[in-house]
Amino acid sequence: MSERLDALEERINALRAEVRRAVRARDGALARSLRAELRGVERAWDQALADQEPPARETPSASEPDEAPRAGAAREPGALVPVREQVHQALTILGVPASAKMIVAVHGALRAGSLRGTQLASLRRDEERSFRSSPFARPYYLCAALTDRLSASRGLLTVSTWPLERRAIGPLSPRVDFLTTAIRVAEHILRLEEAGEPTPSGAERLLSRLAYNVPGVPVAPDAPPRPAMVVKAARAELEVHAGADADARARIADRARARLGDAERLFGGTILSLAREEAS
C-alpha cells in the first residue's frame, strides 16, 4: 500500500511542476487540465491514506456529526481538526481580534475549511469554563478582546498567547484590525501565488470584498483586485492610524494588567469590576 502512496506522491510532485511551467508559459487551457488531473491524483492519495488508517482513528470529530456525510467524497482538510483548532488557525493567519463571521469567511476562503458560525457560538464560554476549572492547562485559549472598560468586547475572538496590547480594542482598533485583515489575506494569496498554487476563488472573493472598503485600491470590473495593490493601499491608511491606535491599546493593556486577575484578563471583567473602575 505504501508503495502506491509513494507512486502517487511522485506523480503529484511531477504534476505540480508541470502546472507551474504551464502557468509561467501562460497556457491557461493546459494548466487547467493539469490542475484537474492533479486534484484527481490528490484525491486518490487521500483515499489511499484513509484506507491505511485504522477505522477507530478515522472519526475523532465525534463532536461534529454533521461533517460525517460530506466526508465520503473528498474529506475536507479541516474536518478532522476540532473547531477550536480551526478557529486558532484562522486567527493565526489574521493575527488580530476577529468576529466569528470573519473567522468563518477567512477559514472557508484560505483553508478550504467548513466552519459554520453556529459552531463558534458557545466557543468562548466553553473555553472560559475550561480555564476556570483548571487554569493554564491548555497551550492556548480562545478568549475575548478587551474594551476600554476592560469588559469583553462583543463578538470578537482572540488567542490567549497574544500580547494584551493586541487583544485590547481602542476606538481606532476596529479600523486598524480591518486593514490588517485585508493585508494578511492579500499576503496569504501572494504566498500561494509565489508557490505556484492556484488561488482559491473563495479567497479572491474575500479579498475583493475587503479591498472594496480600502481607499486607493484600483477597482476594475470583473477582475479581482491585485493582492500587492491591496497590501500597499491598506498599509498607507494603516500608517495614518497606527500611532494613535498603539497608544490607546497600550493604555488599555496597562490598566488590564493592573486591575484584572488571570481569568478576567483573558475573558473580560465583570460589571462589578467595571463599577470599581468607575469609582476610582
Partner 1 sequence: MERFDRLRGAVPARPHDARAIAALAANPGCARRAVMDAAGVDKDATATHLGFPAPFGQSPFAITRGNAFEALVKDSGCAELLRLLRELLGLPIPLAAYTDLGDIGGNPSAHLRHAHTLKLIDRAARDDDEAGTLYDHPLLRLEIAGHTSYLEPDVVAFRLAGRFHIVEIKSFAIVDGQAEPDKVAAAARQAAVYVLALRTMLAELGHDPARVSHEVVLVCPENFANRPAGTLLDVRRELAVLRRQLSRMARVGAIVDGLPEELTFDLAPDADGVPTRPVPELREAVRTVGARYAPECLSTCDLCFFCRDEAAAGGSTELLGRQVRDALGGVATVSEALGLADGSLTPGEGQEEIARLLRLADRIYAEAG
Q: Closer to partner 1 by CB, 142 or 150: give it.
A: 150
Minimum distance from residue 9 beta carbon to partner 1 (Å) = 41
**97-104: long-range pairs with CB below 8 Å, 24+:** 97/145, 97/153, 97/156, 97/157, 97/158, 97/166, 97/167, 97/169, 97/173, 97/177, 98/156, 98/157, 98/177, 98/181, 99/155, 99/156, 99/157, 100/155, 100/157, 102/181, 103/157
Q: What is the DSSP string of 109-123?
A: HHS-----GGGGTTH
Q: Closer to partner 1 by CB, 31 or 234: give it.
A: 234
Q: Is the dihedral of CA 18, 23, 28, 33 positive or negative?
A: positive
Q: Closer to partner 1 by CB, 15 or 164: give it.
A: 164
Minimum distance from residue 45 beta carbon to partner 1 (Å) = 38
Minimum distance from residue 227 beta carbon to partner 1 (Å) = 18
Q: Closer to partner 1 by CB, 142 or 172: give it.
A: 172
Binding site for partner 1 (CB under 8 A): 99, 101-102, 147, 149-154, 171-175, 177-178, 181, 212-213, 215, 237, 240-241, 244, 248, 268-271, 274
Minimum distance from residue 184 beta carbon to partner 1 (Å) = 13
